[in-house]
Amino acid sequence: MERLLRNQKVRNALLQILFVGALALLVIGGALVARQNLIDQRIVSGFDFLYKSTGWDMNFSLFPVSSRDPYWWFFLNGIVNTLFLGSFGLVLATMIGAVVGLARTSTNELAQLLGRAYVDFFRNIPLILQVIFWYAVLTRLPPPRNALEGAGFLLSNRGLYAPFPNIGVAALLVIAAALVAAVALPVWLGRTGRLSTPPDKRLPLKLCAAAAALLCALAAVLLGRLPDAPLLDMPGLQGLNVRGGMRVSPEFMALLVAMGIYGGAYIAEIVRGGFKAVGRGQVEAAQSLGLSPWRIFSLVRLPLALRAMLPILANQYIWLIKATTMGIVVGFTDFFMITALTINHSGQTLEAIFILMAGFLLINMSLAALFNRINRAIALKGNQVRA
Amino acid sequence: MASVLAPPRPGPLDSLRRRFFPTPPQALVSAVSLTLLLWLGWKVLDWALFSATFDTSGTADACRAATGACWSVIAARWRILFFGLYPYEEQWRSALACVIVVAMTVLSCIPSFWTGRRIALVWGVGTALFYVLMKGGVLGLPYIGEEQWGGLALTLFIFVTTCLIGFPLAICLALLRRSELPWISRTTGIIIDAVRSLPLISILFMFAIVVPFMLPGWLQGDKLYRVIVGSALFFAAYQAEIVRGGMQGVPTGQDEAAMSLGLNYWQRIGRILLPQAMRNALPATINQFVIAFKETSLVIIVGFFEILASGNAAFGTAEWRSAYVEVYVFIAFIYFTFVYSLSRYGAFLERRLSVGDR
């Protein structure tokens, strides 16, 4: 026995068995206690509850949801809400971050100072405090009767009312796709190697492609507009409330603004780091080739900086998606809040937590995989000296 | 022979022009930035100082007349902000406890305290003092249960205990993940990645509400301590990766040299690997502390009366209802002071360390 314990291989195996066994014991013990507790409270474990109707409602959803709908539909809408808020938050944060980051890397000292003040101020205040602050501001705006008006928008304590086109949902999707194509097609045409015309003589082709895409969008507008209604549905005051237009709730706005501002401060630092990572030799080489400042920026500094910042940016994006869980402090029904409500109402604690973990794992992993692909696609090939 | 004139020396105005307005586009950027800076600066100063009221009478009357900030709300309600529901006569204990935390943080920023033993001593003794002061029940101090703690003191308590539990846990996790035994390193890796992929809010929620389901009654403990364990676990998962990164920066020759000197595993870890790894990981570690401090604010979601919640209570009366901006700005200022000074210190340290390398 003693000799057996002295044997390195046996000891290693024993250690591993002990470690994994202790963890497994912890998990199994927890599960057993939980099962007993659930039986005591007469809760049937298992995922059957997903098909029951909830009996409560969501205050924000992109698809129609009512209290008679089953739990799985609520979870799905929760995930959609999280992704919806997350993607708008990412876009806003990236735009703010790009502007502030460029200001911080510019040669202008006043712009640098402004960018630095922004980053230092907003990065050092917790996100949740910013969310609560904006929510407090937005819900204390004047009531709809005295709403702030400007350019067809109405801002009141019920939220922001914006003009919305009177166009069917399908047509709206077609228009969005056509607009994306109008930008993406010319870019693709400029780069593809499948055409016989040389890249510098493709301008007419690009213009034609963009025009065709825009024509498609226009056709969709004309075909898809609702009959007997003006093209734009303008919000207007009727009695004590606002009718028409599209309403953006204060909850959504508070989260979006806070995520944009806070995430923007972090992304600005990433942008700055990316530009700092571009070797000075690269810029000097470009200068000695006689490139104009704009071409140095767009052809040398930006592409190199983008490659340097992409991996860190991916982490920040994943962080921001996770930050949508702050929705629960203002009552925005995101994925996490749906989980919390499910636990409160149905008592299916373990199942709901399992769905939450699986959902976030899925979101995080797909985002990480997407960024890894982008990273690989744009990585510099070969072994150039980059400093 | 013609005399050569020296080029004219640029006057102060000229150098200003060259610095900020060399070309039309640069001049435009400068002008816009300057206007924005001045306008914002003036607006903020005017609101916070010139048009503000600092009336300390304890009523909101002066605020109705003022066009700027109403700082009277802080004067009237600062006790609830800092101490929450802590009994009035005993609030000096809460204040002293906060001072202890600040002293602890300052002490651990001094390089001569950067040995494992001294840091552990400072934080262990500091936290014990904090706990005894807050909870009482000994030395003639009346007993005050955790449910009455609140405000800044609770925020600091959660932060300190999170770090105190999370930091050793992080080192353990990092060592386990680096283990040569595949099952140990793989399982630890799965745990770390799973915790990192979840939002902190959901982990706090789990520890506050779900874990009691999975533990027998005698093991559950107070909700406060469960939440602290949850936040420590989250901290440890991130910090473990930082420590692991620091360990990877230590050349293998160091470990081999230690092995050839006949040091055993714990000596190699404690005297060779960890000191060098921690030095590599120091800037990222301070950054992680900063993040941990900001994230203590999330415990409001599981129903604790920390500084944000007590802020909501501070303007929750009919009298101070309109002074919410001032309260939030004040809380933001407290967070900013802590976080900004820590992160400036981190930046200073990073510069200092990188100077030492070259």
Give pLDDT tens digits for B94-127. Answer: 888 888 888 888 888 887 777 778 888 888 888 8
> Selecting from 1.10.287.610, 1.10.510.10, 1.10.3720.10, 3.30.1020.10, what CATH number does the domain B75-357 have?
1.10.3720.10
Cα B266 from chain centre: 31
- Rounded Cα gap, residues A136 and A329, in angstroms: 11
CA torsion sign for A255, A256, A257, A260 is: positive
Contact B328 A129 (CB under 8 A): yes
> By C-alpha distance, which of A227, A210, A192, A387 is closest to A308?
A387
- For residue A180 the two structure tokens come to 């994306």
Mean pLDDT of chain A: 83
pLDDT recorded at residue A13: 86
Which tokens belong to B209? Answer: 């509400």
Q: Is the per-residue pLDDT at A95 higher than 90?
A: yes
A142–B contact, CB cutoff 8 A: no
pLDDT confidence tier of residue A130, bands split at 50, 70 and 90: very high
pLDDT digits (tens, 9 = 90+) for A2-57: 777 777 888 888 888 898 899 899 888 888 888 888 788 777 777 777 778 777 88
Percentage of chain A modeled with pLDDT above 70? 95
| Chain segment A154-195, per-residue pLDDT in tens | 777 777 887 777 777 777 788 888 888 888 888 887 777 777
Domain residue extents for chain A = 71-146+155-160+250-378, 164-233
| Confidence tier at A386 by pLDDT (50, 70, 90) | very low
- Region A373-380: what's the mean pLDDT? 80
Instruction: Give pLDDT, residue A387.
Output: 41
Q: Does B92 touch chain A (CB under 8 A)?
A: no
Which residues in chain A (104-133) have CB-CB distances under 8 A to chain B? Answer: 106-111, 113-114, 117, 120-121, 124-129, 132-133
B32-77 residue pLDDT tens: 888 888 998 888 888 888 777 777 776 767 777 777 777 777 777 7
A364 in reach of chain B (CB within 8 A): yes
pLDDT of residue A100: 93
The per-residue pLDDT string of chain B (358 residues; one tens digit each, 9 = 90 and over) reads 567 777 777 777 777 777 777 777 778 888 888 888 899 888 888 888 877 777 777 676 777 777 777 777 777 777 878 887 777 777 788 888 888 888 888 888 887 777 778 888 888 888 888 888 877 777 777 777 777 777 888 888 899 899 889 999 999 999 998 888 888 888 888 888 888 888 898 889 888 888 887 777 777 778 888 899 999 999 999 999 999 888 888 888 888 899 899 888 888 888 888 888 888 888 888 888 888 999 888 888 888 888 888 888 878 777 777 788 888 898 999 999 988 988 888 888 878 776 555 4
Chain A contact probe: residue of B20, B192, B213, B231 with most A CBs at under 10 A: B213
CB within 8 Å of chain A, chain B residues 306-335? 308, 312, 324-325, 328, 331-332, 335
- Report the alpha-carbon distance of residue B169 to residue B236 in Å, rounded: 6
Is A140 at the interface with chain B, CB within 8 A?
Answer: yes
pLDDT at residue B355, rounded to an integer: 54
> Which residue has tokens 């499948």?
A194
**Closest residue by Cα to residue A328 from B199, B238, B333:** B199
Q: What is the ipTM of this complex?
A: 0.85
Residue from the list B30, B202, B216 with its beta carbon closest to the beta carbon of A356? B202
pTM: 0.84
The CATH number that domain A71-146+155-160+250-378 falls under is 1.10.3720.10
B300/A329 CB distance under 8 A: yes
- A:B CB pairs within 8 Å: 130
Q: Which residues of B313-342 are buried (b: 16+ CB within 10 A; e: fewer)?
A: bbbeeebbeebbbbbbbbbbebbbebbbeb
Opening angle at CA A167, ends A166 and A170, nearest 5: 155
Note whether A136 contacts B19, CB cutoff 8 Å.
Answer: no
Closest CA to A324 of A246, A368, A262, A265: A262
B175 interfaces chain A, CB cutoff of 8 Å: no
CB < 8 Å & 24+ apart, contacts of B172-179: B173/B236, B173/B237, B173/B240, B174/B240, B174/B241, B174/B243, B174/B244, B174/B247, B175/B269, B176/A19, B177/B240, B177/B244, B178/B244, B178/B247
The span from the CA of A124 to the CA of A130, in Å, is 11
Q: Tens digits of per-residue pLDDT, A240-254?
A: 677 777 788 888 999
Contact present, A264 and A122 (Cβ < 8 Å): yes
> Which of helix, strand or coil describes residue A148?
strand
